[in-house]
Every structure is written in C-alpha cells, then in structure tokens.
Structure 1
Amino acid sequence: MTIAVTRTALAIPTRALLACGAVSGPLYFVTALTQAAVRDGFDLTKHPASMLSNGDAGWIQVTNFLVTGVLMLAGAAGLRRALEPGRGSVWGPRLLGVFGASLLFAAVFKADPGNGFPVGTGPATISTAGILHMAAGSVGFLSLIVATFVFASRFSREGHRGWAVYSRATGIAFFATFAGISSGNANAVVMLAFWAAVLLAWGWVTAVILRTTR
C-alpha cells in the first residue's frame, strides 16, 4: 500500500508538468494568430510573431512568450522524469528546456519594429535588444531542431519508425525555413513557410509530450 501511494504521489506532479508542456504550443499559436488577425499593420507575409511585442498591445505577446516559456520548461522537466533511461532521455528534454528559456529571453529583449509594423514604422533598425532577441531566438530554434533529431534517434532504436520519420521531417522543415528567413532575403513565400514550420515544430513538441503521457 505504501509503495502504491508513493508512486501515485510521484506520478501526479510529473503528469502535471507534461500537461503544461502539452498546452504551451497551442496557447502560443492561438495567442499569436489572434493578434495577427486583429492588429493593424501586421502581415503574416512580412512579419514574424516576435514583432507583435511592439506597440501599445505588445504586452500581450510579451506575456505570451513568458507564459509559454515557463510551460515549456515545465514540460521539459516532465519529459526528463517520464522517459525511460537511455540516449535521448537526458539531452532531448534539456534541449527543449533551452528552447523554453529562449522564449523568456525573447520576452525580455523585444524584436525591433520595422517593415510597417507597428503602423507608420519605417525600415527596421537594429538595437542591442533586437540583437539579443535574435540571438536568443537562434539558440532556441537550433536547440529545438537538434531535439527533433535526438528524439528521432531514440524512436529509431525503439522501433518506432513513423515517429522517427515525423521527428526528422519536422527538424528538416524547420531548419530550412529558419535558414530562409535568416538569409535576409525573406519574401512572402518564405515567411509563410516559416510560420507553417513553427506551427509544425510546436505541434511536434505537443505530440511527443502527449505520447509520453500516454
């Protein structure tokens, strides 16, 4: 009886942490897309979600970064507890934790306004905060990309070929679109592809966490 009670007590916090991680992606995208639809001057073909941190309503996206960052850190901690020992059980969650931490940095150091957003803003200027934002985003995105391959390797060893392919495809798509917008020559197609890849990557995080929960 004592052993059963102890196991239940340990399982509840872990499942709660995993639940936090599972809702981080949907919460982030619902909040970002809602803002994108209603804020004047914002254009999905021109602006990444991080630019929503600017303007009078910028606090909404700043809060979005903070909340989803904390939720992602919780989810990473839950994964570390829940995964069976083996390669990927340590570095996979750690990399997702770095991604979560990068969202907190993105909240503190806002992206520079520009390219017509907020309304009336001219060409983008580069500030120290903007540089730190881009650095945090780069570290976070690259950590998430590497995490997809770490988990893909684990899934392959466990014989879950479909999950391995899904993970690698997510990482490749995300890396390709991230490289596209980082080139400085992002057009409407590249920007929309990046939005889609970020959605795909968040969806992958949610799917992996839900799979672990089950």
Structure 2
Amino acid sequence: MTQQTTRTAGTVARDPWPSLTRPLLGYGVVAGPVYVAVSLAQALTREGFDLTRHAWSMLANGDLGWIQVANLVVAGLASVACAIGLRRALVPGRGATWAPRLVGAYGVSLVGAGIFRADPGMGFPAGTHEGPGPVSWHGILHFACGAVGFLCVIVACFVIGRRFAAEGRTGWAVHSWLTGAVFLVTFAAMASSGGAVWANLAFVAGIVAVWGWLSALSLHLRRRTASRRA
C-alpha cells in the first residue's frame, strides 16, 4: 500500500520526504519559545521598559533595538519554514491549504514588523517623552503588519480546530479554538484600551498562548510524521 490510514476522517498520504518535513516543523517547535524568551529577557533587563505599559515591539527602539528586530525577523522566517512543513504534514484533508498559508502570512508579517519598527513613546526608550507621541510612517506599517499577521494566525487556529474536530480529536480542536478566541480577545483589548495595564498584560498572555499552540501543533505533527515513516 502507498497510503496509510489513521484515526482521522479519511486517508492520509504518506510523506515521501519525512526527513525534510520534520526539520521544517522543528522550526515551528522552537520559534515561539525562543521569541518569548528573548523578548522577556529584554523586557526584564532593559532600562525604562515596563511590561505593564509597553508592548514588546517597542523593544526594537534604542541602542539595543537590533536585538528585537532580529528576534522578530528570525521568528518570522521560522514560522514561514513551519508553514511549509504544515503544508506537507497536513495534505490531504481540511485545512491543508489554508492553515499553512495563514501561518506563513503570520511569519511574513513578523518579518515586516521587524523591518518597520514600532514608534518610541510612553517613556521608552529611557528619556523618551511620556505619552504615545507622534506616529511615523514605519509605525503605521508596523501596526498594519501586526494586525494582518495576528488576524491570520487567529483564523489559522480556527481552521486547524475544524480539522481536528472532523478527525475526532476533541482535545486538539478545543485547544485550537480556545487559543484563537483568547488571542482575538486580548488583541482587541490591547488595541482599544488606550494602554490599560490589564490589557497589556492580557495581550502578553495571548502572545504566549498562540506561540505555545503553534509549538505544540508543530511537535504533534512532527511526531506523527515520524510514526508514518516507521
């Protein structure tokens, strides 16, 4: 037989090159933890940065801003690589086309968010004026990249959740749907709250949740690819 069936609804094609698919998914496993760790390390050590007031993207400003720029670009490229792996691991079936495209678009948006820096303000970097300050052209593009990317990964959560529901994997479906819903609510709160402390902290939780979901999904599919190879 050239195909294997699993507990999923339908037949899953055997991946002819699992040695390529698994490393691509591996980028999805590590992208989130590395991005979160680097961002938090800066947030806790850079002078003037306050997690309750400042978005992580503002870390791209100042003398050490290149660290966060690189962090965003690397996380974005890793997400694009993960999207290629998702495409290979999910074919055929529901979401095999759109979930990878959406995750890939999220990755591209992160690269764009790194290239087009967020505007300084709210006292960061140290010595910057208090308050939001003027909005630059690159600040507008940064927000646009972020908004598009966040919406893409939110939809990806629901697309993957629908696939898992069809496969009878209720736990994975609920995890995906809840992650998408939490990230949508926290992003909306952050964008509309005018910098409220609770909204900023909630958005941090949302970021951690969505990166955790992508990491867990990539690890799950990576293991499944290995089992098919066996």
Into which bin does the TM-score normalised by the smaller protein fall? over 0.9
Residue 149 of structure 1, aligned match among 146, 158, 162: 158
Kindly provide the CA deviation profile for residues 86-125 of structure 1, in whole angstroms up to 9, marking residues without a partner as x.
1211101110000000011011100000001001111222
Structure 1 runs of 4+ aligned residues shifted over 6 Å read none
Shift of 1:186: 3.0
Supply the AA of the counterpart residue of 2:40.
L
Residue 67 of structure 2, aligned match among 60, 65, 79: 60
Q: Partner residue of 1:43?
A: 50
C-alpha contact 2:193 2:199 (8 A) present in aligned 1: no
Kindly provide the CA deviation profile for residues 162-201 of structure 1, in whole angstroms up to 9, marking residues without a partner as x.
1111111111110011001111423111100100110000
Q: Partner residue of 1:194?
A: 203
C-alpha contact 1:63 1:107 (8 A) present in aligned 2: yes
Shift of 1:126: 0.2
TM-score of the superposition, structure 1-length normalised? Answer: 0.94
**Separation (CA, whole Å) in 2 of partners of 1:211 and 1:11:** 14
Q: Partner residue of 2:227?
A: none
C-alpha contact 2:29 2:214 (8 A) present in aligned 1: yes
C-alpha contact 1:180 1:186 (8 A) present in aligned 2: no
**Separation (CA, whole Å) in 2 of partners of 1:135 and 1:203:** 23
Residue 164 of structure 1, aligned match among 132, 151, 173: 173
Q: Partner residue of 2:4?
A: none
Supply the AA of the counterpart residue of 1:159.
G
**Separation (CA, whole Å) in 2 of partners of 1:82 and 1:155:** 14
Is the aligned partner of 1:73 residue 2:80? yes
Q: Look up the SS of the partner of 2:91 in the other structure.
A: coil
Task: Calculate the aligned-residue CA RMSD, in Å.
Answer: 1.3
Q: Partner residue of 2:117?
A: 110
Q: Partner residue of 2:135?
A: 126
Structure 1: state its 5+ residue gaps: 1-6
Q: Partner residue of 1:4?
A: none
Shift of 1:8: 9.0
C-alpha contact 2:15 2:88 (8 A) present in aligned 1: no
Q: Partner residue of 1:3?
A: none
**Separation (CA, whole Å) in 2 of partners of 1:196 and 1:107:** 21
C-alpha contact 1:99 1:143 (8 A) present in aligned 2: yes
C-alpha contact 1:79 1:209 (8 A) present in aligned 2: yes
**Separation (CA, whole Å) in 2 of partners of 1:121 and 1:180:** 25
Q: Look up the SS of the partner of 1:88 in the other structure.
A: coil
Q: Look up the SS of the partner of 2:17 in the other structure.
A: helix
C-alpha contact 1:51 1:111 (8 A) present in aligned 2: yes
**Separation (CA, whole Å) in 2 of partners of 1:66 and 1:103:** 6
The correspondence of residues 14-33 of structure 1 with structure 2, limited to 5 A, is 14-33=21-40
Name the structure with the higher helix share.
Answer: 1
Supply the AA of the counterpart residue of 2:219.
L
Identity %: 51
After superposition, the Cα gap between the structure-2 partners of 1:143 and 1:8, relative to the gap in structure 1 and judged at 3 Å, is: closer
